[in-house]
Chain A
Amino acid sequence: MKYGPLLFLGILFTLASSWVGLVLAPKQQLGGLVPNVSTNALGAVVLYPQARKGEAQQGEEHYRSLGCVYCHSQQVRPEGFGSDITRGWGKRRTVSRDYLYDKPVMLGTSRTGPDLTNIGERQSDSGWHFAHLYNPQITSKGSVMPPYPFLFQLRKIGPGGASTNALKLSGEFAVAEGWEVVPKDSARQLVEYLRSLKTSVDLPEAPLPKVQEGAAK
Chain B
Amino acid sequence: MSASSQTFSALLPGDVSDDSSKRALLAEIDASCRVPVLFFVISGLLWLLAGTALALVASIKLHSPGFLASWEFLTFGRVRPAHLNTVIYGFASQTGIGVTLWLMCRLCRVPFVAPGLATVAAIFWNIGLTVGVVGILIGDSTSIEWLELPRYSTPILFFSYVLVAVWAIITFRLRREQHLYVSQWYLLAAILWFPWLYATAQIMLLIEPVRGVVQAAVNWWFAHNVLGLWFTPIGLASIYYFIPKVIGRPIHSYYLSVLGFWSLALFYNWNGLHHLIGGPMPAWMITVSIVASVMMLIPVTTVAINHHMTMWGHFGKLKHSPTLRFVVVGALCYTATSLQGIANSLRSYSEVVHFTHHTIAHAHLGLYGFFAMVMFGSLYYIIPRITQREWPSLGLISLHFWACFLGLALYVVPLSLGGILQGLAMNDASVPFLKVVEGTLPWLKLRTFAGLLLGLGHVAFVGNLVWLLARVFGPYRKPVVAILMGAETAAVVGK
Task: Give the residues from 1 to 29 in chain A that come closer than 8 angstroms, CB to CB, to chain B.
Answer: 1-4, 7-8, 10-12, 14-15, 17-19, 21-23, 25-27, 29
B278 and A81 within 8 A (CB): yes
Return chain A residues, CB-CB under 8 Å to B140. 65
Beta-carbon contact of A15 and B196 below 8 Å: yes
Give the chain A neighbours of B489 by CB distance below 8 A: none
Q: Does A146 contact B (CB under 8 A)?
A: yes
Q: Is there a chain A Cβ closer than 8 Å to B420's Cβ? A: no
Q: Which of A55-85 contact B (CB under 8 A)?
A: 63-71, 73, 75, 77-78, 81-83
User: Which of A15, A63, A75, A105 counts the most chain B CB atoms within 10 A?
Assistant: A105
Residues A64 and B65 in contact, CB atoms below 8 Å apart: no
Q: Which of A3, A100, A146 contacts B75 (CB 8 A)?
A: A146
Q: A22-B273, A105-B216, A109-B275 are in contact. Are A142 and B280 (CB under 8 A)?
A: no
User: CB distance A142 to B142 under 8 Å?
Assistant: no
Check A180 for interface membership: any CB of B closer than 8 A.
no
* Residues of chain A at the chain B interface (Cβ within 8 Å): 1-4, 7-8, 10-12, 14-15, 17-19, 21-23, 25-27, 29-31, 33, 63-71, 73, 75, 77-78, 81-83, 86-87, 93-114, 136, 140-150
Are the C-beta atoms of A66 and B77 separated by less than 8 Å? yes
- From the candidates A3, A11, A104, A109, name the one contacting B193 in the complex (CB within 8 A): A11
Q: Write out, one digit per residue, whether chain B residues 53-65 have a CB within 8 A of any chain A CB (1) or not (0).
A: 0000000011101
Distance (whole angstroms) from the CB of B122 to the closest CB of chain A: 25
State which of A1, A33, A68, A143 has its C-beta within 8 Å of the C-beta of B212. Answer: A33
**Interface pair B214/A26, CB less than 8 Å apart:** yes
- Could you tell me the distance in whole angstroms from the C-beta of A59 to the nearest C-beta in chain B? 13
Instruction: List the 5 closest A-B pairs by CB distance, nearest first.
Output: A67-B77, A111-B355, A77-B278, A86-B429, A18-B269
Cβ–Cβ < 8 Å partners of A69 in chain B = 77, 143, 145
> Quick one: CB contact mask for B160-181 with A, threshold 8 Å, 1 for yes?
0000000000001000001110
- What's the Cα separation between A15 and B427 when bound, in Å? 36
| B contact residues, total (Cβ < 8 Å) | 85
Known: A26-B218, A103-B209, A142-B434. 6 other contacts (CB 8 A): A15-B229, A22-B270, A27-B204, A64-B141, A70-B81, A104-B143
B266 & A65 in contact (Cβ 8 Å cutoff) = no
* B93 contacts the other chain (CB 8 A): no
Cβ 8 A contact of B213, one of A66, A73, A86, A107: A107
Q: Is there contact, CB below 8 Å, between B351 and A81?
A: yes
Q: Which B residues lie within 8 Å of A100 (CB)?
A: 211-212
